[in-house]
Amino acid sequence: MAADTPYGTVPVRLYRPEPDGHALPVLLFAHGGGFMLGNLDTHDRICRLLARNSGWAVLAIDYTLAPEKKFPLQPDQVFAVLQHVAGQGGAWGLDTRRIALGGDSAGAHLCLVAALDARAAGGPVVCGQVLYYGAYGLKDSASRRLYGWADLDGLGDDDSAQYRDAYTATAQDREHPRNNLLKSDMAGLPPAFIAAVAYDPLRDDSLVLAEFFKERGVPHQLEIYEGVLHGFLHCAPRSRARCGRSRLGRPSCGRSDPLWVRLRYDQRDRVVCGICARDC
């Protein structure tokens, strides 16, 4: 599958929890990897789990990687896929009235850009954001100083500099509001679930983003996952969640169509709503 966009043909992969064919709400998922690593296969298992445990369709986006192509092509492609799905997603069995954006690390960054782009363009309507341990623009923070030297999951200081230089060509690009997202006004963005990781150089990016959302009145839920590292979604267990409310019930936040995610940390399993992050 592919989406034809003004920025080239972008490969996508569609995951449906059940092969019943009726129109489903869809989470557009952008993978992490510092803008220069990752593809549809590296995050295949994460997308399968999100679709299976949520009841939503998941559409993974295989955007063009740096350094061969640099900013702003990657956010342009993600936003163009959002527009494509809003306009033509019905042909793929998707409910184009309910589109959410989600991603991990660099993918969370790109999805937040797409939400900002949609607001600026007056559409498409995005019903929610699921942002896992993203990078949003902090240049220095306590978490970077605590963990940036330790090379935790490819996020040492040298790694971060390599990702930055591969993705952006100039200092002006690095300070552009579509790259340094904390320069953007967050007012009017859709509700968001923000996942931060305790032992992550990027932890404080998520904490600051939550403060920005709070200041501008954006509904959001911040969850800090203890005992895990950046990239821990790749460690989610394979087995189906066994919980009476995880597939058919209503979570604590009252949503009838939550994004259920099963996560393992602190030596125990939890099934949580990807919007409110509470135990089901």
**CB 16 within 8 Å of CB 57:** yes
Is residue 200 annotated as part of the catalytic site, yes or no?
A: yes
127 half-sphere exposure, CB direction, 13 A CA radius: 17
What SS3 state is found at 255? coil
Q: What is the biggest distance separating any 2 CA atoms in the chain, rounded to whole angstroms?
A: 52
**Structure tokens belonging to residue 153:** 């999951």
What SS3 state is found at 211? helix
- φ/ψ (deg, to 5) at 127: -90, -15
The single residue of 153, 200, 204, 257 carrying the catalytic annotation is: 200
**Structure tokens belonging to residue 148:** 């940036």
* Ramachandran area for residue 13 (φ above 0: left; ψ -120 to 50: alpha; else beta): beta
**CB 146 within 8 Å of CB 140:** no
What SS3 state is found at 206? helix
The single residue of 43, 84, 105, 206 carrying the catalytic annotation is: 105
Is residue 230 annotated as part of the catalytic site, yes or no?
A: yes
Is residue 256 annotated as part of the catalytic site, yes or no?
A: no
CA angle 259, 195, 244 (to 5 degrees): 35
The single residue of 62, 206, 230, 257 carrying the catalytic annotation is: 230
**Structure tokens belonging to residue 276:** 């409110």
**CB 135 within 8 Å of CB 202:** yes
How many contiguous H segments (helices) and E segments (strands) does the chain have?
7, 10
Which secondary-structure segment (H or E) carries 97? Answer: strand 94-104
Residues labelled catalytic: 105, 200, 230
